[in-house]
Amino acid sequence: MQSLNEREWRQLSAFGNGAPLHIETTSSSIDGIRLIDDGEKSVPYITRSDANNGLARFVSAKNYAFGSDDGGCITVGLDTQTAFYQPHKFVTGQNVQVITDKNLNKDVAQFVVPILRQQMTAKFNWGGNGATLGRMRRLSIMLPVDDDGNPDYDYMTQYASEMRGGVAHAV
């Protein structure tokens, strides 16, 4: 496999028209004080925290009544500039956006999340220049590209898998 510096990289719009990723507001956004806390606690409650992959705690499945987001996505804490891959269906707190794409899997996310974090940290901060949904949609990122100039998801998958010492997840 080619090393990172042997690959062709291109600056791409992360979320604009024709971009590799899609970002939208979460489908749940439940304030922590409104959570239903009875029954078996098996549903991840994801927040903007930088700890534990954004997982604040597990809550009751009754919270799905407020809405939920499917796993296989990246969550972004807008004012904290956090980004994590979420493998399971979850509910979330306020100011969390969800990044999806048909090519997104655990390995691609492992490759892309550090790039997103670096860009968000460089461009946004707490207060006046925070990461709003509009500002995120204008974000550009550098990604390895294939011969057609499209993001090379196969390379990202293989690279992340090799770095982890594991088996690649199919795109």
Question: ∠ CA 134-27-79 to the nearest 5 degrees?
Answer: 45
Residue 121 lies in a domain: yes
pLDDT at 100: 94
Does 170 reside within a domain?
no
pLDDT in tens, the chain (171 residues): 778 788 899 999 888 777 889 999 999 888 888 999 888 999 999 998 888 999 999 999 999 999 999 999 999 988 788 899 999 999 998 889 999 999 999 999 999 999 999 988 888 876 677 777 888 888 889 999 999 988 999 999 999 988 887 655 555
User: Is there a domain that residue 171 lies in?
Assistant: no
Quote the pLDDT of residue 168.
Answer: 54
CATH number of the structural domain spanning residue 21: 3.90.220.20
Is residue 169 situated within a structural domain? Answer: no
Total count of domains within the chain: 1
The boundaries of the domain holding residue 46 are: 4-164
> If we measure between CA atoms, which residue out of 111, 112, 116 comes closest to residue 82?
116
Amino acid code (one letter) for 21: L
Closest C-alpha among 58, 59, 111, 52 to residue 82:
52
Q: Check residue 10 and give its pLDDT.
A: 92
The pLDDT, as a whole number, for residue 62 is: 95
Separation CA 112–CA 105 (nearest Å): 10
